[in-house]
Amino acid sequence: MQRKSLDVWVGLFIVMGAAALMFLALKAGNLGSMTMGNTYQVTARFDNIGSLRPQAAVKASGVVVGRVASIGFDDKVYKAVVTLDMEEGFKFPKDSSAKILTAGLLGEQYIGIEAGGDDKNLVAGDRIARTQSATVLEDLINQFIYSKAAEGKDSQ
């Protein structure tokens, strides 16, 4: 009898611990929303990726359709090469374009995909030709200052 009740308490302890770890993985972590499904890889070249990181989201119309797999640099064309893991379920035309966007004012950067009009879809190994780089704050400020200076000259 004594042994039985001991087993029950220890069993309860282990089940509670396992349940807590499951809770952390499913409710706090993103295991539930993570896609373990099949993906196809496409690449895109950008002049400037800003602070884009691997694992950043790839979104179309705000919906996550893939993740950034890796980021490299091509020293033939001097551009950053971003490899995207796209979910198998989402197909995009071959002439779709990719932009690097920012969530919120200073938030995480992600890739936005805008569908084109081609009949054929992107397949594994394709390259997205039309890209738009990340907006760099310094460039924006520079443009602003130049345009102000030009205005000043005009008025004189």
Partner 1 sequence: MMRRFLLSVGGGARDYVESIGLSARTFFTMLGLSPGLLRRPRLLVEQLHVIGNYSLLIIILSGLFVGMVLGLQGYYTLNKYGASESLGLLVALGLTRELGPVITALLFAGRAGTSLTAEIGLMKAGEQLSAMEMMAVNPIQRVLAPRFWAGVISVPLLTGMFSAVGILGGYLIGVGLIGVDEGAFWSQMQGGVDVWKDVFNGFVKSVVFGVAITYIALYQGYEAQPTPEDVSGATTRTVVISSLMIWWLDFMLTALMFSK
Residues in contact with partner 1 by CB under 8 A are 3, 6-7, 9-10, 12-14, 16-21, 23-25, 27-34, 55
Phi-psi region of 102 (alpha: psi -120 to 50; beta: other; left: phi over 0): beta
51 or 143, CB closer to partner 1?
51
13 or 146, CB closer to partner 1?
13
CB-CB contact of 52 with 111 (8 Å): yes
- Under DSSP, is residue 68 helix (H, G, I), strand (E, B) or coil? strand
Listed residue (100, 96, 110) closest to 46, CA to CA = 100
20 or 124, CB closer to partner 1?
20
25 or 129, CB closer to partner 1?
25
Q: How many CA atoms lie within 13 A of 100 on its CB side?
A: 25
In angstroms, what is the minimal distance from the CB of 56 to partner 1?
A: 12
In angstroms, what is the minimal distance from the CB of 29 to partner 1?
A: 4
First to last CA, the chain: 100
In angstroms, what is the minimal distance from the CB of 88 to partner 1?
A: 21
Looking at the DSSP bridge assignments, the partners of residue 97 are 114, 130
In angstroms, what is the minimal distance from the CB of 42 to partner 1?
A: 23
Say what the alpha-carbon torsion angle 107, 142, 145, 140 is, to the nearest 10 degrees.
-30
106 or 152, CB closer to partner 1?
106
In angstroms, what is the minimal distance from the CB of 116 to partner 1?
A: 29
